[in-house]
Structure 1
Amino acid sequence: MTTEHTESVPRVDPSTTSGEREALEQWLDFHRATLAMKCEGLDDAQLRTPSAPPSDLNLLGLVRHMAEVERGWFRRVLAGEETQWIYSTEEDRDRDIHVTDEDTYKEAYATWQAEIAHARTLAAGRDLDDLGVGKHRTGRTFNLRWIYLHMIEEYARHNGHADLIRERIDGATGD
C-alpha cells in the first residue's frame, strides 16, 4: 500500500544582496527544495507516473537521479571518494529513473537528503576555487564554484521537467 507524501518542504528565497558563495549555496538549496515541493502530496503510484510517452521520466526517478548527481559531483569529483552508484547499474545506467512498484519515495527521499547532507559537509571549509581531488568521467578537474553552478543548472533543468510531470498528474502548477 502506498501512502501520500504530505510533508511540507520549506523553501527560502535566496538573498538579493549576498556574497558569491552564499548566493550559490542559497540558489542550490532553493532548487533542492523546489524538487521536493513538486513531490508534496502525492502517493508513490503518482510519483512513479511517467511524463508522456515515449519518455518514462517520473518524479520519483528525478529524486533518485538527483541523489546520484549529488553523490557523483560532491563525493566522487570534489572529494575523490570511490563510491558505488546508488541506483544505476552496468546493465541499466538509467536505473535511477527506471522505477518499479517496489521503489518508494520514502527511501528515495531519505537517500537524497543524506546525499545532500554529505555534499554540504564535503563543501564546508573549501574555497570556491579549490579543485576537486577526484576526476570526472571525462578526466577533467573541476573547482567547487563550477560544481555549485552545474548543480544549480542540473536542478533547474530537472525542476522544469518536474513542473510538467506534476501538472500532468494532478494539474498542480506553480514555481
Structure 2
Amino acid sequence: MSTLQDTPEPASPEKSGPSRLARRFGCLALLLVPFVLLGVIVMAPVWISDFRLARMVDRIKEYPLPPGTDFGYFDPQVEVSGDSGDCWYTIRFDLFTDRPVQEVLNYYRQTKIEDPDGDLGDYEILAWTPFDEPGVQADETSATDSLIIDLDGMYDGAMSDMRCW
C-alpha cells in the first residue's frame, strides 16, 4: 500500500520553466529590440520638431483674434518640408470674418508670435479666400466670409529631421 509520501508530485508550471512557445517569443523580442531602438533614434528629431510646431500652433490659437473674426471649421494644419537640411513649415488655419481681407492680413503681420526657434515674428503671412465662381476677381477692400491664413517660416536645429532632406 502506498502512502502520500510515496506519490510523485505533479510538475507545476512554475518549476518546469517557460514553454517552448514562450522561449520563441522571447528570442523574437530580443531580435526586434535593435530595430525598435533604431526607429526611436531616427524618429526622435521628427517628434521634437513636431512638438515645437505644436507649441507654435497653441500660441496662434491663444493669440487674440481680430475683431469680428472667429476660427473656422478645421484645426490649424502643419506641413513640414525641406531641402539640404533646411526645414520649412507652413501653418494653415481658416477664419470666419466680417472684416476685409487686407485688414485681417495686416493684423497678423503686426503680431509677434514666437516661432519654433523662439524668435518673434520670423515668418511670412499670406491670406487667401476661396471663391465659388471661377474667374471672379476679388476687390482687396471687400469683406469675406471665409479666409485662410498661411504662416510660412523656417526653423533651425533639425539637421537630423528626415523631412528636411
TM-score, L = length of structure 1: 0.28
- Indicate the structure with greater strand content: 2
Give the number of the structure whose alpha-carbon radius of gyration is greater.
2
Higher helix content, 1 or 2:
1
TM-score (norm 2): 0.30
